[in-house]
Amino acid sequence: MTGPIVFDKQSVPRLRRRRATLLRQLPPQEEMLRGSLIERYNRCGKPNCKCAAGRGHGPKLYLSVSHAGARPLMQYVPMDYHDDVARWLDNYRQCRRILDEICEINFEILRRRERLE
């Protein structure tokens, strides 16, 4: 994460226009996932299987979602779902970046004692 954005030379109307532009760039809210895609290779346990001496069967994809104070949740993701899941994860990250910038703009407008509307 980067530091705060500096808006010293921008007028409040310009900040509001930037905020409106950012709002239009938000990805569809129903197409978001928080987490990370992880590739795993698993061993089946059969002593004569090629996986016993190698990397394992796979790759298999899992969605890993962390929550404070708890172990990460892992959900198997079929390879057919990879592109959709990856896009939804990217949408979430894009949304977070946009919301962070909108919050910085709102903070700057408030710091200047202007109406937030």
Each residue's pLDDT tens digit, 13-43: 999 999 999 999 999 999 999 999 999 998 8
| Residue 45: predicted pLDDT | 87
Question: What's the total number of domains in the chain?
Answer: 1
Q: Report the interhelical angle of 82-111 vs 12-25 (nearest 10°).
A: 160
Quote the pLDDT of residue 50. Answer: 86
pTM of the model: 0.82
Residue 1 lies in a domain: no
Q: What sign has the CA pseudo-torsion 68, 86, 37, 74?
A: positive
Segments in the chain forming alpha helices (H): 12-25, 82-111
In a domain, 117, yes or no: no
C-alpha span between 15 and 41 (Å, rounded): 48
pLDDT score, position 55: 87
Residue 104 within a domain: yes
* Residues of the chain falling short of pLDDT 70: 1-3, 8
Report the C-alpha gap between 26 and 83 in whole angstroms: 19
- What's the domain range around 32? 12-111
Q: Is residue 74 part of a domain?
A: yes
